[in-house]
Amino acid sequence: AAGTLAESVRRVSRGEDTGDLRSRVLSPQNAERISLTLAKMRGAALKLGQMLSLQEEYLPPILRDAVQRARNSADIMPKKQLHGVMEKELGRHWRSKFARFNEIPIAAASIGQVHEAWLHDGTRVAVKVQYPGVDRSIESDLKNLLSLVTYTNLVPKSMYLDVLAREMKTELLAECNYENEAGFYSIFRKLFSGRGGLYVPEVIHELSTRHVLTTEFVTGISLDEVVTTMDQATRDSIAKRLLHLCLHELFIYKIMQTDPNPANFFYRVEDDTLCLIDFGAGRAYHPKFVDDYIHVVHAAARNDYNRVVHYSKELGFLNGSESRIMLDAHVRSVVAVGEPFSAEGMFDFASTNIVNKVYELSPVMLEHRQKPPPPEVYSLHRKLAGCYLLCIKLKAHVPAKEMFDDVYARYEFSGPDTYQGV
């Protein structure tokens, strides 16, 4: 049976169709094997699930199961393979560069694993080591993954998977380059560390390469633990920091760490500090894009239908030929996202239904939209939605409107306002 499935998948990838191929590939007997096949493409499967939906219940069951399997799989490198990577990256005598190196990883993710180590001066560090060959397999994994999900209709055509695939490839290649991540660590440390209760660990550059990243080790409790052990005031403070970070990343500095995974944050109780880790998904945004985006958010916060439509066209969400059904659904979804920035006083994330509002409108937009969204928004909306979901998880009350209004008042536009009214 496994051989039959493998041959079916190969024929799917070649575009062959013998009438009942789809039904055989998606038969109950093969559903489990498809999920396992997708999960083995760990980086690609996780990235697809990440870009399609933060709320996994909205993913097709097979893909949802594959994403969960990929996330939970904890394959680690054999010691011989680990030694080979370390020797290749840091030299034959790599061990001498550490006072102590724990060969048992403390964490394993889609493209690498993390080891605890100590330097000769006593500094405790985290050493992220990339699985060998991950970067070279991205293109083939993506091709096979997208062929399968397209042919079996796991993802509708209106998702514009060609555009999605280009963004997935760009992001995965960037995440596989630890030198790129080290650069974003340094930028974010300079911009945010030590300010407003935030901390970004230092990169140990002499022990970092394209496939090995060594940083200062940070400790703290997870955001899950914050939810169950911290009082309302602390949860509110952490959520405010998360939203402050999101707004300032995009609208002040025009760069963003776009992965809102809760595991990227640790809260240090003893000095009330939120520690930020993992900057593999860092990216920069063009000033014109950010200009138009802050205009859209500002218009949404004021429920200004015409301005939302205008700046959505400027951004590339709309092309001007959309039906009234599509325009109404688009504007309603944008206004829903802008809801925290329209409410005076403290916005209660615990009682909001923003996420449900947007997802209820998604089928209409998928059916009626005329073009794919601008490629930048895949990562941006993942971060914004993730920030909202973290605030919801924390049951936080945040002065969101006051925070956005302050950023908007300070924002420096790169060009004139293009809105001429109606």
Angle between the N-to-C axes of helices 324-337 and 305-315, in degrees from 0 to 180, rounded to the nearest 10 = 100
Which secondary structure element, helix H or strand E, spans residue 331, and what is its range?
A: helix 324-337
Tell me how long the chain is: 422
* CA geometry: angle 130, 116, 183, nearest 5 deg: 50
> What gap in Å lies between CA 292 and CA 73, rounded to an integer?
41
Tally helices (H) and strands (E) across the chain.
Answer: 17, 12
Query: Is 291 labeled as catalytic in the residue annotation?
Result: no
* Cα 41-279-287 angle, rounded to 5 deg: 110
Rounded distance, CA 113 to CA 76, Å? 7
Cβ contact 384:371 at 8 Å: no
How do strand 273-276 and strand 198-199 relate by DSSP bridges?
Answer: parallel
Gap between the Cα atoms of 158 and 383, Å rounded = 22
DSSP string, 185-233: HHHHHHHHTTSTTEE-PPB-GGG--SSEEEEE----B-HHHHHHHS-HH
Catalytic residue from among 141, 259, 278, 291: 259
Residue 420, H or E segment? none
Of 106, 111, 108, 140, the residue nearest 124 (C-alpha): 106
Catalytic residue numbers read 259
